[in-house]
Amino acid sequence: MIEESGTINQEYRMADESTAEVFIYTEGAVVPMDVVRVRVHPSVTVIPEKAFQERKKLEEVELCDGLLEIGEKAFCTCLCLKKMKIPTTVTLIGELAFMGCQITNFRIPQHITEIQSSAFVACQSLFSVEIPENITQIALATFLACNQLRNVALSSATAIEDGAFYQCTDLHQLFGTERLNNPNTVIALKHRFDNLPIHKMVYYQSYEPVSVDQLNDATVMKISRWRSKLDPTGSQQDCLGMTPLHIMACSTVQNIKLYKVLIEKYPENLIAEDRWGALPLLYAVLRNKPTREAPSEIVQCLVESYKALFPNYEFDWNEMVLSLARFDALVEIQSRHDVIRYVWRKIQQESFPDQHFDWDDVVEEAIIRWDRTNLRFISPRSFRHLVRLSVSERTNRMGFRKIKHYKIEMAKKVYTTSIVPGNSEQGRRNFIAEVQDHLVHYENEYRTLKEATTLLELALWKKKMDDHCQERNEKRRAKRVKIEESASRQMCRVGCGADVVIEHVLPYLVRV
Protein backbone atom coordinates (compact mmCIF):
# COMPACT_ATOMS: atom_id res chain seq x y z
CA MET A 1 0.00 0.00 0.00
CA ILE A 2 1.63 3.23 -1.15
CA GLU A 3 -0.39 6.38 -0.73
CA GLU A 4 -0.16 10.07 -1.42
CA SER A 5 -0.25 12.16 1.75
CA GLY A 6 -2.77 14.89 2.41
CA THR A 7 -5.74 12.63 1.78
CA ILE A 8 -4.46 9.34 3.08
CA ASN A 9 -6.43 6.86 5.10
CA GLN A 10 -6.44 8.19 8.63
CA GLU A 11 -5.98 4.67 10.00
CA TYR A 12 -2.45 4.56 8.57
CA ARG A 13 0.37 4.85 11.04
CA MET A 14 3.92 3.67 11.24
CA ALA A 15 4.12 0.12 12.55
CA ASP A 16 5.05 -0.46 16.16
CA GLU A 17 8.43 1.18 16.39
CA SER A 18 9.35 -0.92 19.40
CA THR A 19 9.73 -3.97 17.17
CA ALA A 20 12.41 -2.46 14.95
CA GLU A 21 14.53 0.66 15.06
CA VAL A 22 13.44 3.48 12.75
CA PHE A 23 16.24 4.78 10.54
CA ILE A 24 16.14 8.56 9.98
CA TYR A 25 17.26 9.24 6.41
CA THR A 26 19.03 12.55 5.74
CA GLU A 27 20.63 13.87 2.56
CA GLY A 28 23.66 11.78 1.59
CA ALA A 29 23.09 9.16 4.28
CA VAL A 30 24.15 5.56 3.64
CA VAL A 31 21.20 3.28 4.29
CA PRO A 32 21.96 0.03 6.20
CA MET A 33 21.29 -3.10 4.17
CA ASP A 34 19.15 -4.61 6.94
CA VAL A 35 16.95 -1.55 7.51
CA VAL A 36 13.26 -2.33 8.15
CA ARG A 37 11.65 1.05 8.80
CA VAL A 38 12.65 4.46 7.49
CA ARG A 39 11.58 8.02 8.19
CA VAL A 40 12.88 10.57 5.66
CA HIS A 41 13.89 13.86 7.28
CA PRO A 42 11.79 16.91 6.25
CA SER A 43 14.91 18.63 4.88
CA VAL A 44 15.21 16.03 2.09
CA THR A 45 13.71 17.22 -1.22
CA VAL A 46 15.19 14.55 -3.52
CA ILE A 47 15.68 10.85 -2.89
CA PRO A 48 18.64 10.10 -5.18
CA GLU A 49 18.89 7.16 -7.51
CA LYS A 50 19.51 3.77 -5.90
CA ALA A 51 19.25 5.28 -2.41
CA PHE A 52 17.37 2.25 -1.03
CA GLN A 53 18.04 -0.24 -3.81
CA GLU A 54 18.09 -3.91 -2.70
CA ARG A 55 17.21 -3.17 0.93
CA LYS A 56 15.35 -6.44 0.95
CA LYS A 57 14.10 -6.18 4.54
CA LEU A 58 12.69 -2.67 4.16
CA GLU A 59 8.96 -2.71 4.94
CA GLU A 60 7.84 0.85 5.63
CA VAL A 61 8.92 4.34 4.58
CA GLU A 62 7.52 7.64 5.84
CA LEU A 63 8.04 10.67 3.60
CA CYS A 64 7.29 14.33 4.37
CA ASP A 65 5.63 17.13 2.44
CA GLY A 66 8.21 19.08 0.48
CA LEU A 67 9.73 16.04 -1.22
CA LEU A 68 9.96 16.75 -4.96
CA GLU A 69 11.60 13.75 -6.62
CA ILE A 70 12.03 10.02 -6.17
CA GLY A 71 15.04 9.08 -8.23
CA GLU A 72 15.76 6.25 -10.65
CA LYS A 73 15.83 2.83 -8.91
CA ALA A 74 15.34 4.58 -5.55
CA PHE A 75 13.42 1.62 -4.09
CA CYS A 76 14.26 -0.95 -6.75
CA THR A 77 14.01 -4.59 -5.51
CA CYS A 78 12.94 -3.62 -2.00
CA LEU A 79 11.11 -6.92 -1.97
CA CYS A 80 9.31 -6.37 1.36
CA LEU A 81 8.29 -2.73 0.88
CA LYS A 82 4.55 -2.45 1.48
CA LYS A 83 3.80 0.91 3.11
CA MET A 84 4.72 4.44 2.08
CA LYS A 85 3.13 7.86 1.95
CA ILE A 86 3.80 9.74 -1.28
CA PRO A 87 3.49 13.51 -0.66
CA THR A 88 1.39 15.65 -2.99
CA THR A 89 4.50 17.73 -3.66
CA VAL A 90 6.25 14.96 -5.64
CA THR A 91 6.60 15.86 -9.34
CA LEU A 92 8.86 13.05 -10.56
CA ILE A 93 9.11 9.29 -10.03
CA GLY A 94 12.14 7.90 -11.85
CA GLU A 95 12.59 4.79 -13.96
CA LEU A 96 12.48 1.48 -12.09
CA ALA A 97 11.79 3.41 -8.89
CA PHE A 98 9.58 0.71 -7.32
CA MET A 99 10.59 -2.35 -9.29
CA GLY A 100 9.70 -5.58 -7.46
CA CYS A 101 8.13 -3.94 -4.41
CA GLN A 102 5.25 -5.61 -2.57
CA ILE A 103 2.89 -2.64 -2.75
CA THR A 104 -0.80 -3.43 -3.17
CA ASN A 105 -2.23 -0.08 -4.26
CA PHE A 106 -0.75 3.20 -5.44
CA ARG A 107 -1.91 6.70 -6.30
CA ILE A 108 0.15 8.70 -8.80
CA PRO A 109 0.57 12.23 -7.38
CA GLN A 110 -1.46 14.74 -9.37
CA HIS A 111 1.52 17.01 -10.11
CA ILE A 112 3.21 14.25 -12.13
CA THR A 113 2.47 14.46 -15.84
CA GLU A 114 4.51 11.50 -17.12
CA ILE A 115 5.05 8.06 -15.60
CA GLN A 116 8.62 6.98 -16.27
CA SER A 117 9.63 3.71 -17.94
CA SER A 118 9.38 0.54 -15.81
CA ALA A 119 8.53 2.54 -12.68
CA PHE A 120 6.40 -0.29 -11.28
CA VAL A 121 7.73 -3.28 -13.19
CA ALA A 122 7.17 -6.66 -11.46
CA CYS A 123 5.09 -5.26 -8.58
CA GLN A 124 3.24 -8.56 -8.42
CA SER A 125 0.95 -7.67 -5.51
CA LEU A 126 -0.20 -4.39 -7.05
CA PHE A 127 -3.96 -4.65 -7.61
CA SER A 128 -5.03 -0.99 -7.80
CA VAL A 129 -3.50 2.15 -9.33
CA GLU A 130 -5.09 5.59 -9.42
CA ILE A 131 -3.87 7.75 -12.31
CA PRO A 132 -4.84 11.44 -12.54
CA GLU A 133 -6.54 12.64 -15.70
CA ASN A 134 -3.75 15.16 -16.39
CA ILE A 135 -1.18 12.39 -17.10
CA THR A 136 0.04 12.92 -20.65
CA GLN A 137 2.19 9.82 -21.11
CA ILE A 138 2.73 6.37 -19.63
CA ALA A 139 6.12 5.12 -20.75
CA LEU A 140 7.41 1.77 -21.98
CA ALA A 141 6.93 -1.18 -19.58
CA THR A 142 5.64 1.03 -16.76
CA PHE A 143 3.47 -1.75 -15.32
CA LEU A 144 5.25 -4.68 -16.94
CA ALA A 145 4.49 -7.99 -15.15
CA CYS A 146 2.10 -6.44 -12.63
CA ASN A 147 0.12 -9.62 -13.09
CA GLN A 148 -2.55 -8.87 -10.46
CA LEU A 149 -3.29 -5.30 -11.52
CA ARG A 150 -7.05 -4.76 -11.79
CA ASN A 151 -8.42 -1.40 -10.71
CA VAL A 152 -6.98 1.16 -13.14
CA ALA A 153 -8.43 3.76 -15.51
CA LEU A 154 -6.87 5.91 -18.25
CA SER A 155 -7.70 9.33 -19.63
CA SER A 156 -8.57 9.42 -23.33
CA ALA A 157 -5.82 12.04 -23.80
CA THR A 158 -3.04 9.92 -22.28
CA ALA A 159 -0.43 8.51 -24.66
CA ILE A 160 0.43 4.89 -23.87
CA GLU A 161 3.78 3.55 -25.07
CA ASP A 162 4.20 -0.05 -26.21
CA GLY A 163 4.32 -2.62 -23.46
CA ALA A 164 3.09 -0.31 -20.70
CA PHE A 165 0.74 -3.06 -19.51
CA TYR A 166 2.54 -6.07 -20.95
CA GLN A 167 2.15 -9.27 -18.91
CA CYS A 168 -0.58 -7.75 -16.73
CA THR A 169 -2.24 -11.14 -16.85
CA ASP A 170 -5.35 -10.33 -14.83
CA LEU A 171 -6.21 -7.53 -17.27
CA HIS A 172 -5.32 -9.54 -20.37
CA GLN A 173 -7.50 -12.36 -19.08
CA LEU A 174 -10.46 -10.04 -19.73
CA PHE A 175 -9.41 -8.40 -22.99
CA GLY A 176 -7.70 -11.27 -24.76
CA THR A 177 -4.30 -9.92 -25.70
CA GLU A 178 -0.70 -10.27 -24.54
CA ARG A 179 0.89 -8.27 -27.35
CA LEU A 180 3.32 -5.53 -26.38
CA ASN A 181 1.03 -2.69 -27.40
CA ASN A 182 -2.03 -4.44 -25.81
CA PRO A 183 -4.55 -2.27 -27.72
CA ASN A 184 -7.66 -3.98 -26.37
CA THR A 185 -6.66 -3.39 -22.75
CA VAL A 186 -5.77 0.27 -23.35
CA ILE A 187 -8.96 1.00 -25.28
CA ALA A 188 -11.10 -0.62 -22.59
CA LEU A 189 -9.42 1.31 -19.77
CA LYS A 190 -9.77 4.62 -21.63
CA HIS A 191 -13.50 4.07 -21.98
CA ARG A 192 -14.02 2.41 -18.62
CA PHE A 193 -16.28 5.12 -17.19
CA ASP A 194 -18.24 6.08 -20.29
CA ASN A 195 -21.80 6.84 -19.14
CA LEU A 196 -20.90 5.78 -15.60
CA PRO A 197 -20.62 9.05 -13.67
CA ILE A 198 -20.80 7.54 -10.17
CA HIS A 199 -18.03 5.05 -10.94
CA LYS A 200 -15.84 7.90 -12.21
CA MET A 201 -16.56 10.11 -9.20
CA VAL A 202 -15.56 7.36 -6.78
CA TYR A 203 -12.37 6.48 -8.70
CA TYR A 204 -11.14 10.09 -8.78
CA GLN A 205 -12.30 11.03 -5.27
CA SER A 206 -8.72 10.60 -4.08
CA TYR A 207 -7.87 13.70 -6.16
CA GLU A 208 -11.15 15.58 -5.85
CA PRO A 209 -12.58 14.79 -2.39
CA VAL A 210 -16.26 13.86 -2.44
CA SER A 211 -18.62 14.72 0.42
CA VAL A 212 -21.61 12.67 1.47
CA ASP A 213 -23.92 15.35 0.04
CA GLN A 214 -22.11 15.33 -3.30
CA LEU A 215 -22.35 11.55 -3.58
CA ASN A 216 -26.02 11.64 -2.60
CA ASP A 217 -26.69 14.27 -5.27
CA ALA A 218 -24.81 12.22 -7.88
CA THR A 219 -27.11 9.25 -7.31
CA VAL A 220 -30.21 11.27 -8.21
CA MET A 221 -31.47 11.76 -11.78
CA LYS A 222 -33.83 14.62 -12.53
CA ILE A 223 -36.85 13.51 -14.53
CA SER A 224 -38.61 16.84 -14.41
CA ARG A 225 -38.66 19.96 -12.33
CA TRP A 226 -40.55 18.18 -9.55
CA ARG A 227 -39.59 14.54 -9.99
CA SER A 228 -36.37 12.55 -9.67
CA LYS A 229 -35.27 8.94 -9.39
CA LEU A 230 -32.24 6.90 -8.41
CA ASP A 231 -29.56 6.88 -11.09
CA PRO A 232 -29.48 3.23 -12.24
CA THR A 233 -25.86 3.45 -13.44
CA GLY A 234 -24.75 3.22 -9.81
CA SER A 235 -25.70 -0.46 -9.80
CA GLN A 236 -24.17 -1.21 -13.21
CA GLN A 237 -20.78 -2.84 -13.75
CA ASP A 238 -17.99 -1.34 -15.82
CA CYS A 239 -15.76 -3.19 -18.29
CA LEU A 240 -13.91 -4.78 -15.35
CA GLY A 241 -17.18 -5.89 -13.81
CA MET A 242 -16.74 -3.42 -10.96
CA THR A 243 -19.48 -1.42 -9.26
CA PRO A 244 -18.82 1.86 -7.41
CA LEU A 245 -18.56 -0.20 -4.20
CA HIS A 246 -15.72 -2.30 -5.69
CA ILE A 247 -13.90 0.89 -6.69
CA MET A 248 -14.45 2.44 -3.26
CA ALA A 249 -13.00 -0.69 -1.63
CA CYS A 250 -9.84 -0.33 -3.79
CA SER A 251 -9.39 3.41 -3.20
CA THR A 252 -6.35 4.86 -1.46
CA VAL A 253 -8.73 7.18 0.39
CA GLN A 254 -11.19 5.37 2.62
CA ASN A 255 -14.31 7.10 3.93
CA ILE A 256 -16.84 4.96 5.77
CA LYS A 257 -19.57 7.56 5.20
CA LEU A 258 -19.25 7.12 1.44
CA TYR A 259 -19.49 3.34 1.87
CA LYS A 260 -22.73 3.78 3.78
CA VAL A 261 -24.23 5.98 1.05
CA LEU A 262 -23.38 3.44 -1.67
CA ILE A 263 -24.75 0.54 0.38
CA GLU A 264 -27.94 2.43 1.18
CA LYS A 265 -28.57 3.47 -2.43
CA TYR A 266 -27.26 0.33 -4.19
CA PRO A 267 -27.35 -2.60 -1.73
CA GLU A 268 -27.09 -5.09 -4.60
CA ASN A 269 -23.48 -3.93 -5.09
CA LEU A 270 -22.57 -5.94 -1.99
CA ILE A 271 -23.13 -9.24 -3.77
CA ALA A 272 -22.04 -8.20 -7.27
CA GLU A 273 -18.94 -10.09 -8.44
CA ASP A 274 -16.49 -8.41 -10.79
CA ARG A 275 -15.13 -10.25 -13.81
CA TRP A 276 -12.57 -12.05 -11.64
CA GLY A 277 -15.34 -13.27 -9.33
CA ALA A 278 -14.36 -10.91 -6.50
CA LEU A 279 -16.78 -9.18 -4.14
CA PRO A 280 -16.16 -5.70 -2.70
CA LEU A 281 -15.38 -7.41 0.62
CA LEU A 282 -12.24 -8.99 -0.86
CA TYR A 283 -10.82 -5.63 -1.94
CA ALA A 284 -11.79 -4.01 1.35
CA VAL A 285 -9.76 -6.66 3.20
CA LEU A 286 -6.82 -6.19 0.82
CA ARG A 287 -6.98 -2.43 1.15
CA ASN A 288 -7.69 -2.01 4.85
CA LYS A 289 -5.69 -4.97 6.11
CA PRO A 290 -7.34 -5.60 9.49
CA THR A 291 -5.48 -7.32 12.31
CA ARG A 292 -6.48 -10.17 14.57
CA GLU A 293 -6.87 -7.70 17.47
CA ALA A 294 -8.36 -4.71 15.64
CA PRO A 295 -10.82 -5.35 12.80
CA SER A 296 -11.01 -2.56 10.25
CA GLU A 297 -14.02 -0.28 10.64
CA ILE A 298 -14.62 -0.55 6.88
CA VAL A 299 -14.50 -4.35 6.82
CA GLN A 300 -16.76 -4.56 9.85
CA CYS A 301 -19.27 -2.23 8.19
CA LEU A 302 -19.40 -4.46 5.11
CA VAL A 303 -19.75 -7.64 7.16
CA GLU A 304 -22.66 -6.19 9.14
CA SER A 305 -24.28 -5.01 5.89
CA TYR A 306 -24.08 -8.50 4.39
CA LYS A 307 -25.67 -9.99 7.52
CA ALA A 308 -28.46 -7.40 7.60
CA LEU A 309 -29.30 -7.12 3.89
CA PHE A 310 -28.38 -10.55 2.51
CA PRO A 311 -28.55 -12.98 5.45
CA ASN A 312 -28.90 -16.01 3.16
CA TYR A 313 -26.08 -15.12 0.78
CA GLU A 314 -23.48 -17.89 0.53
CA PHE A 315 -19.87 -16.75 0.20
CA ASP A 316 -17.29 -18.85 -1.61
CA TRP A 317 -14.88 -18.79 1.34
CA ASN A 318 -12.49 -21.31 -0.21
CA GLU A 319 -11.97 -19.12 -3.26
CA MET A 320 -11.69 -15.95 -1.17
CA VAL A 321 -8.86 -17.44 0.88
CA LEU A 322 -7.12 -18.66 -2.27
CA SER A 323 -7.49 -15.21 -3.85
CA LEU A 324 -5.86 -13.63 -0.80
CA ALA A 325 -3.07 -16.21 -0.95
CA ARG A 326 -2.11 -14.95 -4.42
CA PHE A 327 -0.87 -11.76 -2.76
CA ASP A 328 2.47 -12.68 -1.21
CA ALA A 329 2.46 -9.29 0.53
CA LEU A 330 -0.32 -10.58 2.78
CA VAL A 331 1.53 -13.68 3.94
CA GLU A 332 2.94 -12.57 7.29
CA ILE A 333 3.58 -15.70 9.31
CA GLN A 334 3.02 -15.37 13.08
CA SER A 335 1.99 -11.74 12.59
CA ARG A 336 -1.08 -9.98 13.93
CA HIS A 337 -1.44 -8.61 10.38
CA ASP A 338 -2.09 -12.06 8.89
CA VAL A 339 -5.09 -11.21 6.70
CA ILE A 340 -5.81 -14.79 5.62
CA ARG A 341 -6.08 -15.91 9.24
CA TYR A 342 -8.29 -12.88 9.94
CA VAL A 343 -10.74 -13.72 7.13
CA TRP A 344 -10.92 -17.35 8.25
CA ARG A 345 -11.29 -16.86 12.00
CA LYS A 346 -12.79 -13.39 12.47
CA ILE A 347 -15.10 -13.14 9.49
CA GLN A 348 -16.04 -16.65 8.42
CA GLN A 349 -16.03 -18.45 11.78
CA GLU A 350 -17.46 -15.63 13.89
CA SER A 351 -19.88 -13.92 11.49
CA PHE A 352 -20.87 -16.75 9.11
CA PRO A 353 -20.15 -19.96 11.08
CA ASP A 354 -22.83 -22.00 9.29
CA GLN A 355 -21.36 -21.45 5.84
CA HIS A 356 -19.10 -24.03 4.20
CA PHE A 357 -15.34 -23.74 4.49
CA ASP A 358 -12.93 -26.64 4.15
CA TRP A 359 -9.17 -26.40 4.62
CA ASP A 360 -8.63 -29.74 2.89
CA ASP A 361 -10.35 -28.37 -0.24
CA VAL A 362 -8.29 -25.17 -0.05
CA VAL A 363 -4.98 -27.03 0.19
CA GLU A 364 -5.94 -29.43 -2.59
CA GLU A 365 -6.78 -26.53 -4.92
CA ALA A 366 -3.54 -24.76 -3.94
CA ILE A 367 -1.61 -27.90 -4.93
CA ILE A 368 -3.06 -27.63 -8.42
CA ARG A 369 -2.25 -23.92 -8.79
CA TRP A 370 1.50 -24.42 -8.94
CA ASP A 371 2.23 -23.35 -12.51
CA ARG A 372 3.25 -19.69 -12.93
CA THR A 373 1.45 -19.64 -16.27
CA ASN A 374 -1.77 -20.32 -14.34
CA LEU A 375 -3.65 -17.05 -13.85
CA ARG A 376 -4.50 -18.19 -10.32
CA PHE A 377 -0.94 -19.18 -9.40
CA ILE A 378 -0.21 -19.77 -5.68
CA SER A 379 3.45 -19.22 -4.81
CA PRO A 380 5.41 -21.79 -2.74
CA ARG A 381 5.54 -19.29 0.15
CA SER A 382 1.78 -18.77 0.15
CA PHE A 383 1.17 -22.50 -0.28
CA ARG A 384 3.26 -23.30 2.76
CA HIS A 385 1.32 -20.70 4.76
CA LEU A 386 -2.01 -22.25 3.75
CA VAL A 387 -0.70 -25.60 4.96
CA ARG A 388 0.30 -24.03 8.27
CA LEU A 389 -3.19 -22.66 8.79
CA SER A 390 -4.70 -26.01 7.84
CA VAL A 391 -2.48 -27.77 10.38
CA SER A 392 -3.39 -25.15 12.99
CA GLU A 393 -7.09 -25.90 12.50
CA ARG A 394 -6.49 -29.64 12.82
CA THR A 395 -4.39 -29.34 15.97
CA ASN A 396 -6.93 -27.01 17.55
CA ARG A 397 -9.41 -29.87 17.45
CA MET A 398 -7.19 -31.70 19.92
CA GLY A 399 -8.33 -29.22 22.59
CA PHE A 400 -7.20 -29.47 26.22
CA ARG A 401 -5.51 -26.46 27.71
CA LYS A 402 -3.45 -28.92 29.71
CA ILE A 403 -1.49 -30.05 26.64
CA LYS A 404 -1.07 -26.62 25.05
CA HIS A 405 2.71 -26.70 25.41
CA TYR A 406 2.85 -30.13 23.83
CA LYS A 407 0.73 -28.93 20.89
CA ILE A 408 3.12 -26.03 20.32
CA GLU A 409 6.11 -28.35 20.22
CA MET A 410 4.26 -30.67 17.84
CA ALA A 411 3.38 -27.75 15.55
CA LYS A 412 7.01 -26.65 15.42
CA LYS A 413 8.03 -30.09 14.19
CA VAL A 414 5.40 -29.98 11.45
CA TYR A 415 6.28 -26.45 10.38
CA THR A 416 10.01 -27.11 10.22
CA THR A 417 9.74 -30.29 8.19
CA SER A 418 12.72 -30.70 5.90
CA ILE A 419 10.61 -30.94 2.75
CA VAL A 420 10.01 -27.59 1.07
CA PRO A 421 7.28 -27.36 -1.62
CA GLY A 422 8.68 -26.53 -5.03
CA ASN A 423 7.12 -25.15 -8.17
CA SER A 424 5.52 -28.44 -9.15
CA GLU A 425 2.34 -30.25 -8.30
CA GLN A 426 4.26 -33.35 -7.25
CA GLY A 427 6.53 -31.30 -4.98
CA ARG A 428 3.51 -29.90 -3.18
CA ARG A 429 1.92 -33.33 -2.87
CA ASN A 430 5.13 -34.69 -1.35
CA PHE A 431 5.12 -31.83 1.14
CA ILE A 432 1.51 -32.54 2.12
CA ALA A 433 2.28 -36.26 2.51
CA GLU A 434 5.11 -35.41 4.93
CA VAL A 435 2.84 -33.11 6.94
CA GLN A 436 0.07 -35.73 7.02
CA ASP A 437 2.50 -38.31 8.41
CA HIS A 438 3.39 -35.94 11.24
CA LEU A 439 -0.24 -35.18 11.97
CA VAL A 440 -1.35 -38.81 12.11
CA HIS A 441 1.48 -39.57 14.54
CA TYR A 442 0.57 -36.68 16.83
CA GLU A 443 -3.16 -37.36 16.66
CA ASN A 444 -2.53 -40.94 17.76
CA GLU A 445 -0.27 -39.62 20.50
CA TYR A 446 -2.98 -37.19 21.54
CA ARG A 447 -5.57 -39.95 21.94
CA THR A 448 -3.18 -41.88 24.18
CA LEU A 449 -2.44 -38.78 26.24
CA LYS A 450 -6.12 -37.95 26.53
CA GLU A 451 -6.83 -41.38 28.02
CA ALA A 452 -3.90 -41.05 30.42
CA THR A 453 -4.82 -37.53 31.55
CA THR A 454 -8.48 -38.51 32.01
CA LEU A 455 -7.50 -41.39 34.30
CA LEU A 456 -5.11 -39.17 36.21
CA GLU A 457 -7.70 -36.46 36.69
CA LEU A 458 -10.30 -39.01 37.91
CA ALA A 459 -7.81 -40.42 40.39
CA LEU A 460 -7.02 -36.96 41.76
CA TRP A 461 -10.71 -36.14 41.94
CA LYS A 462 -11.44 -39.35 43.86
CA LYS A 463 -8.62 -38.58 46.29
CA LYS A 464 -10.00 -35.08 46.88
CA MET A 465 -13.49 -36.47 47.51
CA ASP A 466 -12.12 -39.00 50.00
CA ASP A 467 -10.30 -36.21 51.83
CA HIS A 468 -13.49 -34.16 51.85
CA CYS A 469 -15.39 -37.09 53.38
CA GLN A 470 -12.83 -37.45 56.09
CA GLU A 471 -13.03 -33.78 57.00
CA ARG A 472 -16.81 -34.00 57.32
CA ASN A 473 -16.73 -37.17 59.35
CA GLU A 474 -13.93 -36.73 61.81
CA LYS A 475 -15.66 -38.90 64.39
CA ARG A 476 -16.19 -41.76 61.94
CA ARG A 477 -12.85 -41.96 60.14
CA ALA A 478 -13.10 -45.69 59.49
CA LYS A 479 -16.49 -45.43 57.83
CA ARG A 480 -16.72 -44.11 54.33
CA VAL A 481 -19.46 -41.57 53.67
CA LYS A 482 -21.05 -41.12 50.23
CA ILE A 483 -21.18 -37.51 49.01
CA GLU A 484 -24.50 -36.89 47.35
CA GLU A 485 -24.43 -33.13 46.92
CA SER A 486 -23.50 -32.33 43.32
CA ALA A 487 -22.10 -28.98 44.43
CA SER A 488 -19.65 -30.72 46.73
CA ARG A 489 -18.59 -33.11 43.98
CA GLN A 490 -17.96 -30.20 41.61
CA MET A 491 -16.05 -28.30 44.28
CA CYS A 492 -13.80 -31.29 44.77
CA ARG A 493 -13.19 -31.58 41.04
CA VAL A 494 -12.19 -27.92 40.72
CA GLY A 495 -9.91 -28.12 43.71
CA CYS A 496 -8.31 -31.49 43.07
CA GLY A 497 -5.13 -29.94 41.59
CA ALA A 498 -5.33 -31.79 38.27
CA ASP A 499 -4.40 -28.68 36.28
CA VAL A 500 -1.12 -28.40 38.19
CA VAL A 501 -0.26 -32.09 38.47
CA ILE A 502 -1.06 -33.02 34.86
CA GLU A 503 0.98 -30.13 33.50
CA HIS A 504 4.09 -31.50 35.23
CA VAL A 505 3.35 -35.19 34.66
CA LEU A 506 2.44 -34.93 30.99
CA PRO A 507 6.02 -34.50 29.62
CA TYR A 508 6.92 -37.91 31.10
CA LEU A 509 4.06 -39.55 29.18
CA VAL A 510 5.20 -38.28 25.78
CA ARG A 511 7.09 -40.88 23.81
CA VAL A 512 10.34 -39.58 22.34
To which CATH superfamily is domain 195-354 assigned?
Ankyrin repeat-containing domain (1.25.40.20)
Residue 256 to residues 261, 297, 315, 418: CA-CA distances in angstroms? 9, 8, 23, 46
**Bridge partners, residue 114, by sequence:** 137
Q: Rounded to whole angstroms, how far apart are CA atoms 74 and 86? A: 13
Q: What is the pLDDT of residues 71-85, one digit of tens each?
A: 999 999 999 998 888
Containing H/E element for 361? helix 359-368
Q: What is the pLDDT of residue 192?
A: 98
Find the range with the poorest average confidence among 77-81, 215-219, 488-492. 488-492
Amino acid at residue number 189: L
Residue 119 to residues 92, 300, 358, 359, 475: CA-CA distances in angstroms? 11, 35, 40, 38, 91
Question: What residues contact 25, with CB distance under 8 A and at least 6 apart?
Answer: 31, 38, 39, 40, 41, 44, 51
Average pLDDT over residues 225-236: 91
3-state secondary structure 419-430: CCCCCCHHHHHH
| pLDDT above 70: residue 219 | yes
What's the chain's average pLDDT? 84
| pLDDT above 90: residue 248 | yes
Find the range with the poorest average confidence among 45-49, 334-338, 431-435. 334-338
What is the Cα 96 distance to its own chain's centre? 26
The residue ranking higher by pLDDT, 499 or 132, is: 132
Containing H/E element for 25? strand 22-25
Find the range with the poorest average confidence among 185-199, 206-220, 332-346, 476-490. 476-490
Amino acid at residue number 372: R
Q: What is the pLDDT of residues 272-319, one digit of tens each?
A: 999 999 999 999 998 887 776 677 899 999 999 999 999 999 999 999
| pLDDT above 90: residue 134 | yes
Does pTM surpass 0.85?
Answer: no
Percent of the chain with pLDDT strictly greater than 90? 54
Report the candidate in 10, 7, 14, 57 with the shortest Cα–Cα distance to residue 32: 57
| pLDDT above 90: residue 450 | no
Q: What is the pLDDT of residue 17?
A: 40
Q: Rounded to whole angstroms, how far apart are CA atoms 84 and 252? A: 12
How many other CB atoms sit within 10 Å of the CB of residue 509? Answer: 15
The residue ranking higher by pLDDT, 444 or 116, is: 116
Phi, psi (rounded to 5 degrees) for 229: -145, 165
* Residue-range domain boundaries for the chain: 1-108, 113-191, 195-354, 457-508
Q: Rounded to whole angstroms, how far apart are CA atoms 237 and 462? A: 69
Lay out the sheet containing 114-115: strands in order across.
Answer: 114-115, 137-138, 159-160
Q: What is the pLDDT of residue 501?
A: 67
Average pLDDT over residues 211-226: 90
Percent of the chain with pLDDT strictly greater than 70? 80
**Bridge partners, residue 93, by sequence:** 70
Query: Per-residue DSSP letters for 112-178?
Result: --EEPTTTTTT-TT--EEE--TT--EE-TTTTTT-TT--B----TT-EE-TTTTTT-HHHHHHH---
Q: What is the pLDDT of residue 316?
A: 97
